[in-house]
Amino acid sequence: MANDASTVFDLVILGGGSGGYAAALRASQLGLDVALIEKNKLGGTCLHNGCIPTKALLHAGEIADQAREAGQFGVKASFEGIDIAGVHKYKDDVIAGLYKGLQGLVASRKVTYIEGEGRLSSPTSVDVNGRRVQGRHVLLATGSVPKSLPGLHIDGNRILSSDHALVLDRVPESAIILGGGVIGVEFASAWKSFGSEVTVIEGLKHLVPVEDENSSKLLERAFRKRGIKFNLGTFFDKAEYTENGVRVTLADGKTFEAEVLLVAIGRGPVSQGLGYEEQGVAMDRGYVLVDEYMQTNVETISAVGDLVPTLQLAHVGFAEGILVAERLAGLKTVPIDYDGVPRVTYCHPEVASVGITEAKAKELYGADKVIAAKFNLAGNGKSKILKTAGEIKLVQVKDGAVVGIHMVGDRMGEQVGEAQLIYNWEALPAEVAQLIHAHPTQNEALGEAHLALAGKPLHNHD
C-alpha cells in the first residue's frame, strides 16, 4: 500500500454524503486540511437516492392532483396522464443542478476529494485506490442502504427498494407498500397522485408511528379520503410471485395482491467489511456507537449520519458533521438535542413536528403536568384558500414551555422553522401569542394555536 508520508491531513473523511461533506466544508472553513473520500457520487443518499428525488416525485404528483382538481378553483384544465420519462427528466435535472453546485463548493474550499472505495486501515488512516491516506483524525460517514427482511428477495422489478422505485420506468397500476413510516407514506402519496392503487402495510398500530398519535390519526383520515388503503397492526409474513405481480401474506393469514411490492421498512448502516471492528471501533447491530460529541471509543475516530443510531435525516447529518469539524478545530461545541430537530414527512398532507409527543411528555412530567391544545386549520384563511385540512397541536408543561409542536396539513413543513425556534428557545405560550403573524398565511395558525394555549383564543372553532 503506497503511503505518501509527507501528507498527513488534519481530517480524513470516509463518505461524502450529508454528514461527510458538511464536515469537510466546515473543517476547511476553519483552516483544517481535509481529505474527503467517496465511492459513488458526492452528496450521498439525500441528493441522489433520498430527500431530493423523492420530493421531486411528490411535487410532480402535487401538480397532477392540481390539474385534476383545477375546476374547484374555477380553472379549466384537463389531466391527460403521467409522462414518467418527463417526470424523471425533471427530477434528474434538479439533482444534476444541485450536484454540480456541490462539486464546485467542495472544490472552492480546497478539500482534497478522492473518488474510490475506502477502508479504515488504522485509527488514523484510510486505504483507497491502492493508496494510504493518513490523518490526525478520521471521520466515518458511510451512510445507509435500504433494509429488507429475511427471505424477501428484492429483485428491482416486482419487489422494489426505494432506490428502484425512484427510477421505475412506469407508473404501477397497483402497489403494496411494506412499511408505513416516512418512506412508505411518501411513496404511497406520490404513486396515488400518479394514478396507482396503493395499499400500505404497517405492523404497528398507526401510520408514521413515531409521530404524535393525533398526527397519525389525521394522516390516516386524509389517506382514506384520498383512497389510499392501509392495514395496521399486523406484521408481514411472506411475499410470493403471482402470474402478473406479487402476493403478500400477513401474520394473520390476510393476503394482498398488486403489480409491485415496495419494501420501505427503513434503512440500515453501511459498515460491514470496512475495517471498523478490526480497528476496535465499538459497534451495535452495524451502527457505530458514539458519545454526544460524535466521538467513538477510539480517540482518533468520530462518526456521523446514518451510520450512527441517531435520527436518519440529512439535516441531522449536516449538524453532526459541523459539530465534529468545530470540535476538532478547538471551538466550543454543544451536543445536539435530537428532540429539537424538525421532522417533516412530505406526503399529502404533510406531517411536521418538533419536540416530544403528548404521550412522551406525560411519561416524563406526569399526566397532570401536561396540557395539550389544538388549532384546526379550518379556522385559517390561507388553508381554506388552499383547500387543505389538518391541525396544529401544542404540548406544554403546565405553567412552563411548549415541549412539542405537531402539525398536519399541506405546506406544514414550511412552518416547522418557527416551531423549532419555539421549542429550542423554550418559549412560553404567552410569549409566542404576543408576536404578530402575517395574515393571511398558514404561519398565523401557529400564532393562533399559541393564543389558544395562552387562554385567549381568537379564531378557534369549538
**Residue pLDDT, tens place only, 396-430:** 999 999 999 999 999 999 999 999 999 999 999 99
- Using the predicted structure, report yes or no on whether residue 462 has a pLDDT greater than 80: no
- Using the predicted structure, report yes or no on whether residue 376 has a pLDDT greater than 90: yes
- Per-residue pLDDT, 434: 95
CA distance 2 to 8: 14
- Per-residue pLDDT, 457: 83
- Residue 259 near residue 173, CB atoms below 8 Å: yes
Per-residue 3-state assignment (H helix, E strand, C coil) for 359-379: HHHHHHHCHHHEEEEEEEHHH
Residue in the block written with cell 470540535 = 327
Alpha helices for 227-347 (secondary structure H): 314-328
- Per-residue pLDDT, 422: 97
Tally Cβ neighbours within 10 Å of residue 377.
24
Share of the chain above pLDDT 90, in %: 96
CA distance 60 to 90: 9
- Using the predicted structure, report yes or no on whether residue 42 has a pLDDT greater than 80: yes
pTM for this prediction: 0.95
- Per-residue pLDDT, 327: 98
**Residue 4 in 3-state DSSP?**
strand
- Using the predicted structure, report yes or no on whether residue 445 has a pLDDT greater than 80: yes
- Per-residue pLDDT, 6: 59
CA distance 88 to 125: 39
CA distance 346 to 295: 32
Residue in the block written with cell 475495517 = 275
Q: Where are the beta strands (DSSP E) in 60-196?
A: 112-115, 119-122, 125-128, 131-140, 144-146, 159-160, 174-178
pLDDT in tens, 343-372: 999 999 999 999 999 999 999 999 999 999
Confidence label for 266 from pLDDT (cuts 50, 70 and 90): very high
- Using the predicted structure, report yes or no on whether residue 460 has a pLDDT greater than 80: no
- Using the predicted structure, report yes or no on whether residue 435 has a pLDDT greater than 80: yes
State the amino acid at position 423 in one-letter form.
Y
- Per-residue pLDDT, 150: 87
Question: The C-alpha cell of 289 is what?
Answer: 456507537
Which residues, listed in sequence order, are joined to residue 134 by a DSSP beta bridge?
Answer: 8, 125
Could you give the residue numbers annotated as active site? 439
- Using the predicted structure, report yes or no on whether residue 91 has a pLDDT greater than 70: yes
Q: Parallel, antiparallel, or unpaired: how do β-strands 34-38 and 112-115 relate?
A: parallel
